[in-house]
Structure 1
């Protein structure tokens, strides 16, 4: 018999395949195409199988509806010998079903001809009605992919590993349908929310189907979502105009933690590892008609008693948790009449009680009523901040009668916030976060909320190397809390506060806000994009400062930044629209500084600062500034007191990297009683001066301008009067140690210095031109390899250009500081003697 079956199928394979395809296409408004057809009988005996390979079925929108590696039709073996071939079941395997509903509600699966569709000559049965009779009793999907897109409802679902079976007397109008399915959800996007990422789903259902009445009665139905199991009872009935629901859902085999896993994707980052126990019950019902005009009644209730909640993000267990949560879409079965309530939430953490309640009415225009009272241990909540650098938390925050009541739309708008009822207190008791290896502690203090005003009383912040005390008040706290990148409504946190600080370690505090080298290395080891991490930190800081509008009056007794140490800072910090303006006075480096600057917190931050130095010790200035990153002229070479006005323009990229190429600094400096000691470059002037004189050079009042830009230091032409040598000099010095210095010396002084004895008093040389002519030299090359050329024309040209640069710097500084800044010219007695202009510069230089 088996051999006979094989022979029969081999004879009829091609004809049967064509007849099945033709019969299917007769029922479709689109086309089914097949790559090839084969038949098998051994694996399906006593039935035969017609296998359509490489199947493509087009949808109503001219896109592919179904692709499958194989569709196998199971046939009655002996019906192959009759005019009517009977198809019993079908298996669709290794493919994808793509369902699409466009914005007009048209579905791409609407491809079956109606009873009224007339037969065309091409679709009429040419054999007088001998086509296959497809009378299915079973259908199966094997390893399929499902893609569902509903543009009208803004929904998109993708699932993989779809395996399903359907059985029943499908040829009858009334039958029992048995079906099972398992699948893995890639995602389910509803609006802008993503649900069920990577979740295992399934069902086991027995449903009575009445096709004539359009009714489906759920006899035994179980839905499984991960480890949640829901029992479904009731019925669904469809008519031309409506779908009527009468369904009841309940679950006694689930947990709060499992339900949390069903939340939208963005909430799962800090909540996905929740574990829970306790008496947890979920009930829901769906009753009424669904059509274009009305929605069914939806009610849901969740209860938890004697619960325990744990998480890797919590240092301990929340115990004895109980609450009741309900949802009801209300009288009109719409968002407008919907309400959500959490009643009698209670829980104990380390024997500390926390209670809260929440009522939300009208989801179109939410009316919120929130209340909270009790102890919030920092160890319970620090892990949910979402910053991996936070390693630990401790202490507690006592919440006293915190209430928030009003319309959400009023809460997010500063112009309506006075309509919101708000009040309560937060009292801190040794509440701390351990950020990497540093502790940041709110030692004590109270935040009191009264309507739109938040009062800060004796709030002590102990940070790394820092002790700060805050007092003041803030406004618009609630609109700022509810603000986000899409819906900020122009919220600004207005504040007036006083900051008193005994010590302030800026290095260690700033390290907490930026990505340092250690964190960057750890991120790279974990294959985390370090640049993205840096960019995120910059954007977080930008977002925070965008909400700030107010003034800190600051008094800082002692502070440090890198090697810089200062004291007695008195000034103000003003914030507005991503800008921080700082003004104040401080003592540092043996002198006094007046600071007036603006920091702009943008995607690419930048700084504009005006610094006035008064009697600053130049040795300390170089030492604490770490010699500005160079080792040619250092603090070991300098003595004297510095007066200066300096304008600084500094820039960073979106990752927080300092842009040295864009750095620009303008300065006007005056050095009183200055000394230059053991400066190696000065030994090159030994042609003019005795080496001993060059080892310690004492200046009179030295004044000039300078500019740093394009990675160069520009020194405009200036006159230097010292014990060793008088000269006029200008030059450029790059950050790569390339130099171009131009100088003028007096020949008479050169000759005198060659023969005179060493002067231990270090008395400056007189500035005079009497008795000889001036010499002009250009020093070009690098610090380690340079040439000296005698060239009056080159020196004179550079002096003229640098005079123009000097006046440009002067004008820019006067604009920044709003004051007149005087220039110091070369003394009259030092200027070139016209009658000696023709004398050669080739004189007395040895290199």
Structure 2
């Protein structure tokens, strides 16, 4: 058994060795034949170079409306094996109208062409592979639509047979090295220019067309769908590949989705491009993790310049569709979707933290209005985050028309009032308590990427807020307010202000508020209706003085801070108040049923119209104004009727008089006064600053212990009671000029004596009052009721002429000699 097995094994070993020698010999013969064949072909090409070059040129020129020139041809054996490889040098391809436009379609320093051997032996050239290097491919279309690609004549289709078979040569492989590709369409204002460092394409033909696997390493110098707008992906590198499918019937090239690096960023790209009469195309680009600035820099300058005003700190997910027509003028449709989660958005107006939204950009917001900036829109959905420490939500926020941007949307927020310190500096408004709820819809222009002239509709409610207005040192407690925005107007209601002792209920409106806020705050008028059950003016004295400058007014406010805007609003706006107060207090002044119209102007003036009070048993009607400054200048027209003079003088600090005070007078006082003067920021009258005219009437008056009269009494009537004098009806007129008061001629009829007085009374030096005193005792005539008879009796008898003037010690002295005697002495 073992012998048989061994014999069989030896037999087959001998047989296999023999066949191996036969196969090796055959293979060697085949190699030799191929070498001889290639050597023969090389010999043939070298010895028949002109004929081969002519055949090749003729073959390639067949069907061209132009010329293809090849400078030289050389065979290269192994590079095209098993086909014949030819190296073409100095290849130039030009269309028939080259002399008109001077744009050469192809200039190649070197082109390696792989040719089918059998076809070459039959006298035809079938190209299997082309490798082009050091070349420029320039596809040019002039303004009239003529293209140098017209050099290629479209041949009629023939019936297809088997896969890969046909009457036309099939290009299997294409390689480009150091090739500049240009597609310049002057008619549609499109320019594409790329430097292709390396491109390899393997082509497989089928019944419907062909498929290609392409790898590319290149740089984009221009990808301008509209040269007026600039280029996409300008000067960005390209590295990746494509799966390309050509459908001959549909005349389309489809780029299946595949990864491509653009400018170092990883994208998934798909495209559909028409290559026949239709130049329609669509490109889809996706990146799930790209920084905002990197994405913006890939777009055309008109879009990039707008997007670069913003930034997102963390990567976002982006999808972009570009849909257009290579044969059409203008921009293609551009649609970008972005998903933003837990990001920080930086804007010209400030930063938004914890930012989330789904965003859409389109340059064709209204389909029938074309692809342009004016028809572009940025749309944000479910936009939420925190701005200046304030949380907010916008279900929809749109920016329309990027030439003249308009923002529309809704805005809602709920926050504690102290959080407003992120928007408003605490040296202007300081909030220490309270809550706010905001729900508004808005529409606004955008100027320099900031909201301008918004139109709002909606409500802002503030509850139980404590706020300090620092420039005027005003404190308000438990403030509640409802702001209702309706178109351009602002309606303010449900305001309750509480200070230490005062309670003020307010409602008002500002017409054309939002427009004037941004354009002319000095024209803004806040119309207030104010009611207070009790108001202590001392708590509002901050309005008298000039406003303290805030730090924001001295330094430029930080981005996202509205202190400057509000400061300017408070400083320049006008306030027209209709005021009604049940009980009004200020130091010693107390009035009831007060009402007034008060206008606060942007220049710092306070105008008071038709102010009325019940005070000291009588009434006061006042019109006046005050100009704010280092000393506040006032102008006053007052009509006082039947007030208790003692209470009245005490309430007004005796009008700066030091000798005659509220303790010296009793009676019902009426006056008409036109006065100017100064008042301090604390509301105190500045002594000796008053100028004007006072007409007065004192009924049922009494004069108590008035020193000048008492001095006259000591001199002329030592036995009469000059400390307590009753006046029957006292009328007079004073001209007030600072520290001096001119007393117009005035009759004083009293229970003790009658006097005629005129002269000058000074709060300082210069008092000189002339007094004529009839010695007749008024008590003798008290029963006479006839006024004419009483007037005749008044000056009967002896009349003493006296002069009251300053003495050397500064006190008023009385001496004999009246006005007439003084004149005679001078004469």
TM-score w.r.t. length of structure 1: 0.47
Higher Cα radius of gyration: 2
TM-score w.r.t. length of structure 2: 0.48
